[in-house]
Chain A
Amino acid sequence: MDTRTETVDTDVLVIGAGGAGMRAAIAAAGAGARVLVVCKSLLGKAHTVMAEGGMAAALANVAHQDSWEAHFADTMKGGKLLNSWRMALIHAKEAPERVLELERWGAVFDRTASGLVHQRPFGAHTYPRLAHIGDRTGLELIRSLQDRLVHTDAVDVHMEVTVASLLTRDHRVVGALAYRRADGGLVVYTARCVLLATGGAGRIYRITSNSWECTGDGVALAYEAGAELQDCEMVQFHPTGMVWPPGVRGILVTEGVRGEGGVLRNKDGERFMERYDHERMELSARDVVSRAIDAEVTAGRGTPHGGAYLDISHRRADDIRRTLPSMYEQFRTLAGVDITREPMEVAPTIHYFMGGVRVDPETGATSVPGLFAAGEVAGGLHGANRLGGNSLSDLLVFGRRAGEAAAAFALGHPRPGAVDRAQVEREAELLLGPLARPAGESPYRLQAELQDTCTRYAPIIRDEPGLREGLDRVLELREHAARCGTGGPTGRAFNPGWHTAHDLRSMLVSAEALFRCALERKESRGAHARRDYPRADPALGRVNLVVQRTEGGMSLRSVEAEPLPAELTEVISQSFARYTPEEIT
């Protein structure tokens, strides 16, 4: 086995080039560090480009009553108070500044009549709050950051590089072992610290809005390095994914459709949200709308392909094409549906992981020195349920903070000693293992089995027997995955079978954590709904489940969250927003 490596040195190694990674890299460079960004795909292709509706920030351009207090309260109530209040506070206060900063870097947003950044209404936000450009806000964010990034001198970017393991020395993260897809060459990155911005793990499910990259890499890297994870049971189903035809199942239909006035109906034509959240209707929180659609389908009132109708055709065709251009195009080309005339068929699709690496709210520092995390890979901000639009602002607010903190750490700590060659050898052999077993079990088949397992046993409504079965299967799949081979040729250059074998390792960590935490949380709260525990348990209201790697495997413990200060409790109680209905029906 050829485990030769080349070595590249930097101050701050950023893993991932979506919104959080790029914003962090820009911030770290601005604070005086040399920065290297490695990304799994080409630059500009990260999952952030798929974000549609907008980024939430209390700019108060459309509703003058809006304020950080209202945004904070909405975020906390939407997350069922499981959020880190410190993160929610920082987010609500800093998001407007980050949006305006992005505009100064060249981002273009739709405007109000008075020329300010326009804001559209979105689910469970009390006021119209989402800065947007049509329905492709993520692309705008990515392009603006990308342009800034490639013109920042202290930043270098290595595209199509997959990180296999973090390297540690004296309990500090000091670099990473990675491989270059183009030629399969192994690279040791030595760094003063590492920042994870790798996104979520949506691909552990079969039906997901997530892109190829979302295999939970950062969660697995952090876990293997000994960092704590939290809230791994909190997985968001977006209420509206495409349903038909089968080839497109799961592709996102932006919440912006409902923000622009789209209504949900069951097969009998009934606007069923009336029965689930009569006040906010279609613009209720995502967990509520997802469960409502699921309940309608279960009760036999679903559409022919097992979903609900989402109808925007009462709006003028020109307006629909202007405000929702990519939805119009997506349904026209992929489903043969003209959304200006006909309803769309939609059903819940896996969308977002609220949980992730446990971080310090101010800095994104994880529990392992020298390791930072920002964006979807980090947990805390969104609690038990994320509000639409809070993700893009999360990337900017905490990407910047983590980038600055990582630079300060890098410049304030002595350069770590040489990497541990024995560790590099060990990790390299683990990475290259599947190439030595070409006839082993197929990574594609194991990946499909894992996706089926999560889809079947950790659905919208969960229960103990299902979760137990799911966990058993995940542990069994882990045994198989340890034996899997590339399934054929053993060339290293752009060998997707080999790559999938590696992805599988990451995906299994997220899946195991999901099942273990979901079993442990014996209540229904936010995205975590249990048939056998249909109510919220007040005793668990401020309890985070924390996962960590131990000698004996994955350990789990309950951690009481820091109490809310009185003035913030007051902010929440003063807000007009209601809690979403908690109990499942």
Chain B
Amino acid sequence: MGVTTVRVSVFRGDGTGGEMVAYPVPVREGMVVLDAVLWIQANMAPDLAVRWNCKAAKCGSCSAEIDGFPRLMCKSPVSDYGAALGVRPLRTFPVIRDLVTDVSWNYEVNRRIPPFTPSDADAEDPEPWRMRQEDVARVIEFRKCIECFLCQDVCHVLREHDRKDAFSGPRMMIRAASLEMHPRDVLDRRPLLKGEAGIGMCNVTKCCTEVCPEHIHITDNAIIPLKERVADRYFDPLRWAARRLRGS
């Protein structure tokens, strides 16, 4: 297959505004959208701002909206799009420049999730821990997350309603699940989940699951089980009565 020309439109601008600018890009077989953007950078627009690192779908840096869909640019073959395509920055986060957005909010909410905490006995156990593969397998799925924040971008609580004050977003639910379901973690993060992380805000539309490049079943395997755990603690009538009696 030879070289064809594809019209690649890229958002150029900053937080105050901008426009889509079209560039004709010669496309070779196997080229991904990130290659096209880097070609534009090297040949037509040397100051075109884009984040990327590994170009192998392992770091989650090159997230963007390609023809309106949140995707990793390094994992999106240009040939999937025909003669023209458009690339915009993630809409849920403030634009710094061109395709680069300010995602620092994600780091702030992540930091508020208490870290892995084993029991004192486990922490002091001089022998290596033994865990069954079946038990670690539950969290392996969540630990695949590459923090591309596509799920955060597509989540309508954050995207349409801009409720970053009330909901930490799907990525943070995955993070919490990876800790809560770790066989050796003993901390109870349900108060956080119910409170400032706002798990109740999620109404299970599964948009996050659809865009996850790691194919993590965010809603089914993380958010719903976490909602159940929260419900068990706070809304189980027997436990509610027990708490009232204990005065806790």
Contacts and interface: CB of A to CB of B under 8 A. Distances in A.
A213 B30 CA distance: 23
B227 interface: no
Interface stretch (B123-131, B161-169, B237-245): B123-131
B132 interface: yes
B179 A106 contact: yes
A459 to B, nearest CB: 22
A581 interface: no
B46 A47 contact: no
A546 to B, nearest CB: 32
Given A251-B55, A488-B47, 5 more contacts: A45-B60, A115-B129, A244-B30, A445-B42, A493-B14
Contacts of B46: 442-444, 486-489, 496-497
A273 B14 CA distance: 54
A105 B100 CA distance: 32
B22 interface: no
A401 to B, nearest CB: 22
A41 B97 contact: no
B147 interface: yes
Contact of A496 (B41, B54, B139, B146): B41
Contacts of A150: 107, 110-111
7 contacts: A42-B51, A45-B60, A46-B53, A106-B185, A108-B139, A493-B97, A494-B96
A491 B97 CA distance: 11
A49 B214 CA distance: 14
A227 interface: no
B153 interface: no
B225 interface: no
A41 B30 contact: no
Contacts of B60: 45
B201 interface: no
A247 B28 contact: yes
A97 to B, nearest CB: 11
A104 B98 contact: no
Interface string A173-195: 00000000010000000000000
B65 interface: no
Interface residues of A, number: 71
Contact of A247 (B35, B57, B107, B146): B35
Interface in A32-75: 41-47, 49-50, 59
Interface string B48-74: 111111111111110000000000000
A151 B117 CA distance: 12
Nearest to A103: B129
Contacts of A295: none
Interface string A421-462: 000000000000000000000111100100000000000000
B18 interface: no
Contacts of A7: none
Interface stretch (A136-144, A378-386, A522-530): A136-144
Ranked nearest first, the 7 interchain pairs of A and B with the lowest CB-CB distance are A245-B30, A106-B116, A115-B130, A497-B46, A487-B46, A494-B49, A247-B30
B61 A42 contact: yes
Contacts of B154: none
- Residue among B53, B129, B140, B185 with the highest chain A CB neighbour number at 10 A: B53
Contacts of A108: 136, 139-140, 143, 182
Interface residues of B, number: 61
Interface of A: 41-47, 49-50, 59, 100, 103-106, 108-111, 114-117, 133-134, 136, 138-140, 143-144, 147-148, 150-151, 159, 182, 209, 211-213, 244-248, 251-252, 325-326, 329-330, 333-335, 442-445, 448, 486-489, 491, 493-498
A566 B136 CA distance: 44
Contacts of A110: 133, 136
Contacts of A46: 53
Contacts of B179: 106
Interface in B102-150: 102-104, 107, 110-111, 114-116, 118, 123, 128-133, 136, 139-140, 143-144, 146-147
A108 B29 CA distance: 38
Nearest to B129: A103
Contacts of B182: 106, 108
B159 interface: no
Contacts of B50: 496
Given A330-B56, A486-B46, A116 B128 contact: yes
Given A49-B58, A488-B46, A134 B140 contact: yes
Nearest to B75: A333
A74 B219 CA distance: 46
A140 B133 contact: no
A148 B115 CA distance: 7
A212 B128 contact: no
B32 interface: yes
B81 to A, nearest CB: 14
Contacts of B30: 244-248, 334-335
Nearest to B139: A108
A493 B42 contact: no
A116 B131 CA distance: 7
B118 A104 contact: yes
